[in-house]
Chain A
Amino acid sequence: MRHPCQLLKIIAALVSLSLLPLWAQAAGSIDGDIEQQAVNPTAIVMFLIFVVLTLLITWRAARTTTSSASFYNAGGNITGLQNGAAIAGDFMSAASFLGITGLMFVAGFDALILSLGAFGAWPVLMFLFAKRVRNLGSYTFVDVVSQRLAKDQIRLVAALGTIAVVILYLIAQMVGAGKLIQLLFGLPYEYAVAIVSALVLAYVAFGGMLATTWVQIIKAALLLGGVTFMAILIMAQAGFSFSTLLDMAVERHPQGEAILSPGVVFKDPIQIATIQVSMLFGTLGLPHILMRLFTVPDMRQAKLSAFYATLFMGYFYIVLLVIGFGSIALLYGNPEFFDADGNIIGGINMVAIHIASAVGGDVLTGFMSAVSFATILAVVAGLTVSGAAAISHDLYAEVLKQGKPDAKAELRITRIAVFVIGLVAVLLGIAFENENVAFIAVMPMVMAASVTFPILFLSLYWRGLTTRGAIIGALVGFIASIVLIVLGPQVWVSILGHAEPLFPYNYPALFTMPLAFFVIMGVSIADRSARGKVDRQSYHDLLIRSELGPNA
């Protein structure tokens, strides 16, 4: 008789293969250097404390989450400071902390392009979107774009775009979570995926956005506190001199002084620009980030949310600079962290944990491992709320019930949607365990930059936008993103086994986003339909409401 986990794997694999025939040809494994570590009791105890605390918050939040409205936006009573912290908690993923530190360990300065890319979107969120999106929407960004365009069509397209982004982002997060927890805690992959999903279901299904917000705030506080403490301990080793730290890093890294300048791993400026465009405009189109703007009571708090998020993340990425160069200075040449072949133990994702161990011993290692786990929970919880809102609010309440749903039925559907998303996340997480998910992590950012961002930006800033232009442009952006990612190095070479990619870059948003803009604008200008006329005429009214509030 087969083990239940094996059966689950087979079912999940069949589902995924039937959905995506391309995957049948997938050859590569996710990562050759993932190694299961010994069980870390300190990390597990600290993580359990985090879980108990957040479940208590969920229990309290569940008492106030009695309607769909409170589920989607936490009652709209979160302050700007709290929401800024929650946005930071939602966005500062394990990839930021572990991935950027690991890449700095290998490549030094080159890794900073990822830090700047991840940070660059937040000021633009404040300048362009925070106030206007908050004034025009209720629960999701789809509310905003449907204000002046044909509601049903644009809601359908934008909501499906949201679900696609959320599912792809979830797959990358779940596979990353499984591998990371295997790495940090010594737990089997399937258990790790199931634990993440079960906890997120508990937070989101019962506590909705309120519980999710507090999970994200606590995670942000723990992460910022943890990296600050690590940075202080690292600087102490260098006599609190950043120059001394850089000198130590240059002396120990095999590439020497080259790590202080660009060119160790990235050489092509176009490649750098593709990363910058994808990360900045992709972040601005992420539905779970935009949704956070509706949790505050007014437009002033929405602006403050973006400001505090920028402050927290700016601080985080500058502190990562110290941790990254500190890891080079303190780990290279220390045999405790390298195996017999001279490779870093556990792969480069473990660098941040090793440096915690080097400067803070078992307690700091356990703490940072627990924080990394909490990081995943916070991100997955935010995605789940966003996906559930797209299904229950955008599709069920607004399209199917034409904005007049039964309140109890809507809340029931919201909770069912949460469970379905949780189940899908587990199934796909297990199905993709041994697949190369690097391109799945790229897809949501490229799609958000090429589909969500152009529609949202033009609906707020261009009078000429029409429903026809938005829908056709969104479809072109969507298809172009998938095609160029498939033709690029991560799929065409790494998965399909061809010698050379047909398209040279991993992040095609530099090309797909302008294409989407061009098509949206071209089709809108050529649109002579009656609906197009209405779309254009409603712009000035929307513009006034977006700046001066719904009662202007």
Chain B
Amino acid sequence: MSDSKLEQVQAKTRRRLLFTAIHLVLYFSFTLNWTTWGKALTGPVGNGPLSGSILMFVILVVTFIALEVLFLAVDKAITKKALEQN
């Protein structure tokens, strides 16, 4: 196999693992709500009844979807660039 092919695939692997790591850090950060360190999260946001914990849930769901969109966009751009170079 050519070195360029292997490098290309290894770069893709690193990107996959990076996105997964970001996702897992965000996902497990939700546990903070049940710890003393995360106490600040559980209070109300502004003057309404909405708590930081509920807001965090919604933000995490939206962020996970945004991460996927970003992943697809980066993948598409890099694949296009690789095709142009070849």
Binding site for B on A (CB under 8 A): 109, 112-113, 115-116, 119-120, 122-124, 126-128, 242-243, 246-247, 250, 257, 260-263, 266-269, 272-273, 276, 280, 303, 306-307, 310-311, 314, 317-318, 321, 461, 540-541, 543-544, 547-548, 552
Closest A residue, CB atoms, query B47: A243
Q: Which residues of B contact A540 (CB under 8 A)?
A: 1, 6
Contacts A126-B71, A314-B61; A262 near B33 (Cβ below 8 A):
yes
Bound CA–CA A540/B20 (angstroms)? 21
Bound CA–CA A306/B69 (angstroms)? 11
Q: Which residues of A contact B17 (CB under 8 A)?
A: 461
Q: Are A120 and B27 in contact (CB under 8 A)?
A: yes
Contacts A109-B54, A112-B57, A243-B48; A544 near B6 (Cβ below 8 A):
yes
Q: How many residues of B contact A (CB 8 A)?
A: 43
Q: Which residues of B contact A543 (CB under 8 A)?
A: 6, 9-10, 13
Q: Which residues of A contact B69 (CB under 8 A)?
A: 307
Q: Which residues of A contact B50 (CB under 8 A)?
A: 242-243, 246, 260
B80 touches A (CB below 8 Å): no
**14 CB-based A-B contacts, threshold 8 Å:** A109-B51, A115-B57, A120-B27, A123-B65, A123-B71, A127-B16, A127-B20, A242-B50, A261-B43, A269-B35, A273-B31, A314-B61, A547-B8, A547-B12
Q: Are A127 and B23 in contact (CB under 8 A)?
A: yes
Q: Which residues of A contact B19 (CB under 8 A)?
A: 123, 127
| Nearest CB on B from A284, distance (A) | 11
Q: Which residues of B contact A122 (CB under 8 A)?
A: 64
Classify the secondary structure of B's interface with A.
helix
Interface pairs A-B: 3 shortest CB-CB: A261-B42, A246-B49, A260-B51
| Partner pick for B31 among A127, A257, A269, A547, CB 8 A cutoff | A269
Q: Are A120 and B72 in contact (CB under 8 A)?
A: no
Q: Are A303 and B72 in contact (CB under 8 A)?
A: yes
| Partner pick for B23 among A124, A276, A303, CB 8 A cutoff | A124
Q: Are B9 and A544 in contact (CB under 8 A)?
A: yes
Q: Are A119 and B5 in contact (CB under 8 A)?
A: no
Q: Are B34 and A267 in contact (CB under 8 A)?
A: yes
Q: Which residues of A contact B51 (CB under 8 A)?
A: 109, 260-261
Q: Which residues of A contact B61 (CB under 8 A)?
A: 116, 119, 314, 317-318
Q: Which residues of B contact A109 (CB under 8 A)?
A: 33, 51, 53-54, 57
Q: Which residues of B contact A128 (CB under 8 A)?
A: 16, 20
**Chain A proximity mask over B33-65: 1 for CB below 8 Å, otherwise 0:** 111000000111000111101100110111011
| Nearest CB on A from B58, distance (A) | 6
Bound CA–CA A461/B9 (angstroms)? 11
Q: Are B27 and A314 in contact (CB under 8 A)?
A: no
Q: Which residues of A contact B28 (CB under 8 A)?
A: 273, 276
Bound CA–CA A247/B44 (angstroms)? 12
| Partner pick for B72 among A262, A307, A314, CB 8 A cutoff | A307
B77 touches A (CB below 8 Å): no
| Partner pick for A263 among B8, B27, B34, CB 8 A cutoff | B34
Bound CA–CA A113/B16 (angstroms)? 25
Closest A residue, CB atoms, query B26: A120
Contacts A116-B57, A124-B23, A303-B72; A250 near B49 (Cβ below 8 A):
yes
Bound CA–CA A540/B7 (angstroms)? 11
Bound CA–CA A251/B67 (angstroms)? 37
Pick the most buried of A261, A307, A311, A541: most chain B CB atoms within 10 A of its CB: A261
Q: Are A262 and B68 in contact (CB under 8 A)?
A: no
Q: Which residues of A contact B27 (CB under 8 A)?
A: 116, 120, 276, 280
Q: Are A310 and B49 in contact (CB under 8 A)?
A: no
Bound CA–CA A258/B68 (angstroms)? 33
Bound CA–CA A317/B30 (angstroms)? 15
Closest B residue, CB atoms, query A108: B54
Q: Are B65 and A314 in contact (CB under 8 A)?
A: yes
| Nearest CB on B from A477, distance (A) | 20
